């Protein structure tokens, strides 16, 4: 196929990505057999997804900074993306983020210092604490949602509607078993 790569996404949906950058990248790092050196390290799906996530999150942080939230670091997103709006226990946050309780505790402390979250007593277990967004944290979350929306719109404009729809559907299906965030809606 000229000028593109066919990607077979969820449930047989086939989309052609006609991005010159993607085409150039694949020519530069073609997928080769396991015995042919290290080119596979640049073109495997894990690397490609990681590169895309780093670029996307970098753009979200840039947008957050432009909107007055330059205190936000990618580590803080590990907490806030796993924190239910109604609150979540620290041990559950750590599990969702695949972090130790100590590391998550440090992130909670940092976000508490920024005024984004607070720890309150768990009404069902006085020994446990629940991490919750503060009113300022809810405003931050709204700004974060807006930044994510803009970054997604930019990505859609670069990749095209069909490719973006296929990516979203495919990733939703593939990652469905790992979505641990409670959704009260």
pLDDT for 62-82, tens place per residue? Answer: 999 999 998 888 888 888 889
Q: Which residue has the tokens 């000028």?
A: 3
- Residue 156's pLDDT is what? 96
pTM of the predicted model, to two decimals? 0.73
CA 133, 135, 140 angle in degrees (round to 5)? 75
In this prediction, residue 183 has a pLDDT band, given cuts at 50, 70 and 90, of low
What is the rounded distance in angstroms from the CA atom of residue 129 to the CA atom of residue 170? 36
Higher-pLDDT residue of 162 and 175 is 162
Nearest to 3 by CA among 15, 17, 14: 17
Q: Do 47 and 25 form a contact (C-beta atoms < 8 A)? A: no
- Diameter of the chain by CA atoms? 64
In this prediction, residue 182 has a pLDDT band, given cuts at 50, 70 and 90, of low
- Residue 29's pLDDT is what? 54
C-alpha pair distances (Å), 154 with each of 59, 60, 63, 158: 10, 11, 12, 6
Domains parsed from the chain with CATH numbers:
5-178 (1.10.10.10)
pLDDT at 32 over 90: no
- Helices 45-66 and 135-159 cross at an angle (nearest 10°) of 130
- Residue 27's pLDDT is what? 56
Q: Over range 78-101, report the average pLDDT.
A: 92
Higher-pLDDT residue of 39 and 160 is 160
Mean pLDDT, the chain, as a whole number? 82
**Where does the chain show beta strands of DSSP type E?**
5-8, 14-17, 88-89, 117-122, 125-133
């Amino acid at each position: 196929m000229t000028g593109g790569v066919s990607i077979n996404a969820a449930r047989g949906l086939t989309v052609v990505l006609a991005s010159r950058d993607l085409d150039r990248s694949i020519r530069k790092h073609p997928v080769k057999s396991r015995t042919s050196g290290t080119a596979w390290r640049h073109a495997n799906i894990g690397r490609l997804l990681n590169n895309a996530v780093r670029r996307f999150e970098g753009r979200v942080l840039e947008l957050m900074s432009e909107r007055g939230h330059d205190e936000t670091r990618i580590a803080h997103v590990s907490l806030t993306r796993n924190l239910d709006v109604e609150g979540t226990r620290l041990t559950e946050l750590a599990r969702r983020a695949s972090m130790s309780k100590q590391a998550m505790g440090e992130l909670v402390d940092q976000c508490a210092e920024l005024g984004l979250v607070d720890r309150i007593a768990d009404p069902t277990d006085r020994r446990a604490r629940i991490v919750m967004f503060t009113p300022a944290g809810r405003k931050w979350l709204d700004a974060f949602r807006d930044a994510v929306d803009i970054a997604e719109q930019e990505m859609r404009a670069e990749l095209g509607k069909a490719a973006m729809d296929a990516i979203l559907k495919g990733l939703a299906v593939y990652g469905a078993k790992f979505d641990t965030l409670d959704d009260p809606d």
